[in-house]
Structure 1
Amino acid sequence: MSKDFFGALENRRSYYGLNKDHVVSDERIEEVVKHAVKHVPSAFNSQTARVVILLGGDHDKLWDITTDVLKVVVGDGDFSGTQQRMDGFKAAYGTVLFFEEQDVVRDFQEQFALFADNFPIWSDQSSGMHQLAVWTGLELEGFGASLQHYNPLIDEQVAQEWDIPNTWKLRAQMPFGKPTAAPGEKNFQPIDARVKIHKS
C-alpha cells in the first residue's frame, strides 16, 4: 500500500462498473477485512462490528436473493432499471456484509445506563468507520466498490441463507470487483461552509 492516507481517502470512490477478474488472492481480501475489523475504533471499545465476506457462488446468491425480494416490492412496476443495478452488483467479485451485534449494544446500555441512549448511535458510527476502512483498503488493493443498503428488506433471507445470528443487525452491503469503468464526477460543496475553526 504505497498511497498516503489523504490520497487513499481522496481516491476511494463509488465504482459501479465491476467484474469478477482476479485482483488479489481471497486470502488477501480476508486479511484486509480482518485488519479493519480488528483496528477500527468503537465506543467504550465495545467491538460491536460483525462482518461476512461472500465470494463466488455465495456472492452471486446474495444478489439473486436481493433481486427476488425487490421484484416482490416493485410488483407490476417497471423493473428494468433495478434489474440492471442488480446485474451490475452480481457481476462483481464479492460482497462484504456489515452487521452490528445488538446483544453487545444492549449489554453496554445496561452497564452504562447514563449513556444508554447513545450506544445504538455509537454502534452505527462504528459501523460507518468499518465500512470506510474496508472500502479504502479494498481500493488500495486495486478493487472498486460501492456501498448499498438493501436492509432491512433482505435481512431475513440473508440470515437464513448464511446462518446469521438473530442478534446481528445488517447495516450495509459492499459489492467489490475489478473496475471496468471510471467512477462518475463528484461535486463538492464549498469546504469553508462545512468546516469552521475557532482559535483563541
Structure 2
Amino acid sequence: MSIDHGWWQQARPVVSPNQDARPRDEVSLLVLHSISLPPGVFTGDAVEALFTNRLDPQAHAYFAAIHHLRVSAHLLIRRDGECVQFVPFSARAWHAGRSCWRDGQRWRRALNDFSVGIELEGDEVTPYTAAQYRCLVSATRALLAGYPQLTPARITGHAHVAPLRKSDPGPAFDWAYFRQSLAKPLSGE
C-alpha cells in the first residue's frame, strides 16, 4: 500500500498533537522502538492515550509518572499486526529524544528532524509476532518507495541512537529475520 500526503493507506489514522513541522523536507532514517503500557501489558489503549495526551494518571500507578510526557511516533504496530498512524511522515514526530546518528563521516543530532519512528507493541524480551513483522516489512517498503533518501542501511533501533538511555526494540527483535523478510517479496505481491 502506498503513502498519500504523508499517510500510509494501510494504517488507521489517530492524530497526535505531539508533532510539528520538519525543518527541512528530509526523511532519511527509520528508528524502530518498542512500547507497552503499562510495561509488559500488550492490550488496551494506553499507548494511543499517551500519544494523544489522554493518558489517565489514575488508571495505573505507572501512568502517574508518565502522563505528562508529550511524545508520539509515526506508526504503532500492535501485536495482531494492526497499524495506527499518529503523525504524517511529512511531519516531525517526537520519538527519538536525545540521540545521535553517524551519517557517513558526520554525527547528526536532533534525529526527529529527519527520521520516521515506528513503535512495535511489545517489550524488549518478549518475541514480536509474525503479524508485526509482516506489517513492519510492508510499512518499511512503502517508506523506502516513498522517500528515496531512506535506504535499508538507514534503518536502526532506538538503542543504537541512544545507547546509554534506551535499549529498545531490544534483544527480542530479530534483526536478521526482519532484513531477510524485507529483501524478499511478500506473499500476494
TM-score w.r.t. length of structure 1: 0.31
Rg (Cα) greater in structure: 1
Q: TM-score, normalised by structure 2?
A: 0.33
Q: Higher RCO, 1 or 2 (CA under 8 Å, sep at least 6)?
A: 1
Structure with a larger share of its residues in helix? 1
More strand by share: 2
